[in-house]
Structure 1
């Protein structure tokens, strides 16, 4: 049984965003400040990365700790626990499938946890810059990379 009324639960769930979350906006602003041009929520091979750098085929996901299973055990879910465990499990499986699909098609996939973006934003931006430099110079096979 839910501790909230149906109207309260609806209001709560409507407020949960899937696009333009605080962590996405924070990372995007930091990347833009470094002069990195990107697309947001751009569809790539049936995946929807939060940030896509099309020029270098880099897909960036900003994963919420709860929704993507990093700290699910930390949360004490009492109501409808089976549903939430299954939902988070499906999210994790979808994340893995998306990562595999993108990598198999020549994309670099970066996933940053919510807490990492909040606490170590500079390190996240540095990793993106490092991957851009790697992509500028070589392909995964070591040959000069051409934007396709």
Structure 2
């Protein structure tokens, strides 16, 4: 039996469809994160991007997100290893580190909802959207005790 593509191909060799399939749909990338200027520590919040659909756990305008949200980050094979805030569960990070995907990942389970059923996604955990946080201090009230 052939090995799955994420076990045999480096990120840079993946097709566009394979690259997109690696995303587990957790939505963690769409949460605001605060970085401590002194320590570099990342603090996760439960504040979602204005384009995030909290019920579907998806971007409502994925194709145009980079134009509509100036601080949205496009993940690439070149930058996934350098982005400190990528969650420990992120498939791009796992593959870049030479690790396998967890059993709940949709590519492994064969079901898109497995990420939500495993409690890995942010579905049901968004407490605000960025447009509701007009001052930087407003995000502080939504800091999570740990990475979601």
| TM-score (norm: length of structure 2) | 0.30
- Structure number with greater Rg is 1
Q: Higher relative contact order at CA 8 Å, sep ≥6: structure 1 or structure 2?
A: 2
Q: Which has the higher helix share?
A: 1
